[in-house]
Amino acid sequence: MTLHCAIYCTVIDNFGDVGVCWRLARQLADEYHVQVTLWIDDLVSFSKLAPSLNSNLNEQVLDQITVCLWHKDKRDELSPTHQTTLDIIIEGFGCRLPDFVLYKMAQQAKTGKPPLWLNLEYLSAESWAVDCHAMPSIHPQTGLTQYFWFPSFNEKSGGLLREADLIKRRNEFQHNAEAHQEFWSMLKITNAHLFERKISLFSYENKEIHNLLEALAADSQKTLLLVPDGKALVDVSAWSKQSLKQGDYLTKDTLTIVVLPFLSHENYDRLLWSCDLNFVRGEDSVIRAQWAGQPFIWHIYPQDENAHLIKLQAFIDIVATANMNTSWQTMMLAWNTPNHAHSWSKALSHLADWKIMSREWQTYLTTQQSLTTKLMQFYQLKHSLSDE
């Protein structure tokens, strides 16, 4: 029997939300043959992640997924995609389902089985996220049960998104010189092999970028810094005293900066696999950096009253139990905390140790089931219980 799933997603101010929902939708379709409809309120932003998407079409099929524009200011109940009986409904990051969808779910419950309703929450390493994972909540108007799904780094949590063949594809790419050459050629970087060190920089605005670039330019090793077009480019441009844009090259002493286009998921993975150190931001890219098995520094999404630093410390504490190098912990805090004592020059000398420990951490995470596997097992459990 083919299962039908609807995923609702709001694009807030970055790409993490839609990036996670897009990966989840594709994995459900690819590995479990679920028919997925992805409702997104901003197709223009989404098209940066999915270049083949036509942002002018309100409904289209892309990579087996039915992608629909979510009009929040009007009712979409006449759309054929809303007439299908649903088995799973996923509310991405508390985006709140439309009232008529709740009504349809309630009507479905009266005539048959209600869909499994999940609220996919943000990634958190805090212990309460594991404690609250899969907790039910009864909707006051409809009586429907919603379950809270918390991704995290513990086997008892909701898991992390990981395609079944991801590590295999990464290993094949990293051991294939021709694949590397094709990737750099695609990015129009023909001299990548001349650099002793490659670093990717995907970050929010960050004053610490200036100190990093100063250290790289003064370092004895030649560094290729790859900056996808985005928020970090403001600080990179300020350091360079030039208004940098996509396609620009800039060399200062031993540092060469290349501004990349915004990359698709597949090409961003290859970038992470190709670099000796990856600076990542938010949720989606930090998870992909961990699967890359390469050293990484995470710029966690800033929150009011420094609430994000509590979440960051919880993550650092978990990774530290895997004997992560203390210099990595120091630099994680420096990247996210103004005036934190540090030295990028000293930190860069530890990259070899960081790599060993990053690969050990990735191996540990890979022993756990993926988020999608856990989700489908949860559906089967609830489905079987409803048959009793």
Place of tokens 């590397």: 180
Neighbours of 346 (CB within 10 A): 12
The Cα 186–Cα 339 span in angstroms is 39
The catalytically annotated residue of 41, 219, 269, 283 is 283
* Residue 179: both structure tokens together: 């694949």
Single-letter residue type at 67: V
State both tokens at 110: 């009266």
In whole angstroms, what is the distance from residue 307 CA to residue 319 CA?
19
How buried is residue 62: exposed, middle or buried, by Cβ count under 10 Å (0-12/13-18/19+)? middle
Q: Six-digit token pair at 14?
A: 């970055």
Neighbours of 195 (CB within 10 A): 18
CA distance 41 to 73: 10
Catalytic entry in 17, 121, 219, 284: 17
**DSSP character string of 76-123:** -TTSGGGSSPPSEEEEETT----HHHHHHHHHHHHHSPPPEEEEEPPP
Residue 26 and residue 6: Cα distance in Å, rounded?
A: 12
Instruction: Give the integer Cα–Cα distance in Å for 317 and 305.
Output: 21
Cα torsion through 176, 181, 187, 189, rounded to 10? 140
- What are the Cα distances from residue 126, in Å, to 67, 130, 294, 296, 365? 33, 8, 23, 20, 16
3-state helix, strand, coil split of the chain in percent (to 5) is 45, 20, 40
* Known catalytic membership, residue 283: yes
Told to judge if 182 belongs to the known catalytic residues of this protein, a careful annotator would answer: no
CB-based contact 331:308 (threshold 8 Å): no
At 224, the amino acid letter reads: L
Q: Residues near 381 by Cβ (< 8 Å), separated by ≥ 6?
A: none
Q: Give the active site residues.
A: 17, 283
